Amino acid sequence: MAPRRPDVDPTAAVKDRSMQRQKELIASYYDRLAAVPETGEKTVATFVPGNLTELLLSFDIVPILPEINALQSGMRQKSAGYINEAERMGHSEDVCTYVKCDVGMLAGGNIGPTGKILPAADMLLLSYTGCFTFMKWFELLREEYKCPTVFLQTPYQARGEVTPEMRQYMIEQLKKVVIPSLEQLTGKKFDIDRLREALTLSARAEDDLVAVLESAKHRPSPIDSYFGGVYYIGPIFTAFRGTQEGCDYYAMLRKEVEQRIADGRGPTTPEGDLEDERFRLVVEGPPNWTNFREFWKMFYDEGAVVVASTYTKVGGLYDRGFRHDPSDPLGTLADYCLGCYTNLSLPKRVELLSDYVNEYEADGFLINSVKSCASFSAGQLLILREVEERTGRAGGFIESDLVDPRYFSGANIKNRIESYLQMVDQKRSAGVTS
């Protein structure tokens, strides 16, 4: 690691300017939510995969993102109490811990991650993308908020492709169900030109994000595309896609990463720059949030850099070529929902992971199987075997959870990671790939 400056608090995490800016943006988002009772803005609860942020912006609606609330609560060590409260209310241990965190937060007065009261949702907008739990979650929220619920049904890519019929079905729902519901909620007529403006800004930010993610093809990689990637995807996956603030953030981030490449620097970690890239990995599955920094340290202590991950694609597979297209506003929203990672079939997920291993010249790939997240964890052992066979690279398997600290065993996970990397190193030294 590069040494810290003597004036830096040794317990504080080192952050690039882009990471600090991301934190500021998220804080401003929660401030805006907290101010809704005074501003009178309308709110719509929705989810990250397949969200229609640009459409909501065109109606001056503030999105509420329940899973973002949960992960932010987990990072701030608040989720355990919320989960315990939800279980006291009768929710099973096997229920998604994002859901239980959200339910427990509501039961405690709906105090958000930053300590400010969040507003009630005026509408629930579910663009279903591969996670059945989302539907059950919104049933619970509907009971709480007593507000209209709009369901944008997204056909699953069971055969690994999007057909013209699937796309048209989505467009018709947008025209006949979603947009009229938003007009009724806000009292405003749909303005397609405002939507086009937001989509233009989205595409610009998406270009810069892809450049950042693909910078990991360099040696050394200037970024960590899993842990560091969490910071990078924050604005575009929440409330800032389609905004000038979002564009400014990604332009700054791209410039920062390009400078790291020019300087030959590795990624930033909480303890400084990683100076010795010993392993290049691809990771499947969401990270653990309650012990995020401890989890990250297990990797950078071993010189392991994640050069590609599937989690950073849950809000859009931009690196596979998708961009929001202002020339076809409703069609591009349909394409976005249909193409999200959690809406891909298992064979397509295997194909994507295998491509990442090869394109980023990874030494191996690791699966973090999350106990309560069926949309990611189902089929992961099959994925492990298939990717190993296709790439000739060794796979590893660890288990944790999203925001329930009871299912994060630091010693066990650390031992597994160390053993896995030792195996990778031995095989690499012997010239064996699998």
Specify if 86 maps to a domain: yes
Domain count along the chain: 2
363 pLDDT band (50/70/90 cuts)?
very high
Cα–Cα distance for residue pair 157/431, rounded to 1 Å: 38
Decide if pLDDT at 10 tops 60.
Answer: no
Instruction: Provide DSSP, 265-309.
Output: ---EETTEE-----EEEEEESPPPSTTHHHHHHHHHTTTEEEEEE
CA 385 and chain centroid, separation: 25
- Which of 175, 191, 207 terminates a domain? The answer is 191
Q: 34-38, 218-222, 234-238 — which is least confidently predicted?
A: 234-238
Q: What is the CATH number of the domain that holds 114?
A: 3.40.50.11890
Paired tokens of 83: 């989960």
List, for residues 165-209, the tens digit of each pLDDT value: 999 999 999 999 999 999 999 999 999 999 999 999 999 999 999
In a domain, 406, yes or no: yes
Same domain, 259 and 140: no
Are 223 and 177 in the same domain? no
| Tokens encoding 62 | 């503030």
pLDDT number for residue 6? 44
Side-chain half-sphere CA neighbours of 264 within 13 A: 2
Do residues 250 and 138 both lie within one domain? no
Same domain for 214 and 343, yes or no, is yes
Residue where one domain finishes, among candidates 141, 175, 191: 191
In a domain, 305, yes or no: yes
Residues 365 and 339 in one domain: yes
Predicted confidence (pLDDT) at residue 378 exceeds the cutoff of 90 = no
Q: Does 411 reside within a domain?
A: yes
8 occurs within a structural domain: no
pLDDT of residue 433: 57
Q: Smallest Cα–Cα separation from 336: which of 84, 162, 212?
A: 162
For helices 17-34 and 227-237, give the axis angle rounded to 10 degrees. Answer: 40
- Which carries the bigger pLDDT value, residue 12 or residue 32? 32
- Are β-strands 149-152 and 272-273 bridged in parallel, bridged antiparallel, or unpaired? unpaired
- Residue at 98 is within a domain: yes
Clarify whether residues 143 and 277 are in a common domain.
Answer: no
Buried b (16+ CB within 10 A) or exposed e, 212-224: bbbbbebebbbbb
pLDDT of 157: 87
Pairing, β 272-273 against β 268-269? antiparallel
303 & 185 share domain: no
> Is the model more confident about 1 or about 314?
314
pLDDT, residue 371, reads: 86
pLDDT band at residue 5 under the 50/70/90 scheme: very low
Q: In terms of C-beta distances under 8 Å and separation of at least 24 residues, what long-range contacts does 13-17 make, across chains too? A: 13/270, 13/271, 13/293, 14/268, 14/269, 14/270, 14/271, 14/272, 15/268, 16/256, 16/268, 17/252, 17/256
For residues 112 and 377, the model is more confident at: 112
- 288 lies in which domain range? 195-429
- pLDDT for res 129: 74
Q: Does residue 110 share a domain with residue 201?
A: no
Do 115 and 215 lie in one domain? The reply is no
Per-residue pLDDT tens over the stretch 285-336: 999 999 999 999 999 999 999 999 999 998 889 999 999 999 999 999 999 9
Position 149 pLDDT exceeds 60:
yes
Same domain flag for 372 and 391: yes
Do 269 and 351 touch, CB atoms closer than 8 A?
A: no
Average pLDDT of the residues in 53-60: 98
Same domain for 326 and 273, yes or no, is yes
- The identity of residue 106, as a single letter, is L
Residues 171 and 206 both lie in one domain: no
Positive or negative: CA dihedral 72, 334, 157, 352: negative
pLDDT at 416: 97
CATH of residue 389: 3.40.50.11900
Question: Of 160, 191, 222, which residue is a domain's last?
Answer: 191
Residue 307 lies in a domain: yes
pLDDT attached to residue 267? 97
Assess if residue 150 is contained within a domain.
Answer: yes
- Please give the structure tokens belonging to residue 251: 């332009």
76-111 residue pLDDT tens: 999 999 999 999 999 998 899 999 999 999 999 999
What pLDDT is recorded for position 1? 59
Mean pLDDT of the chain, nearest integer:
93
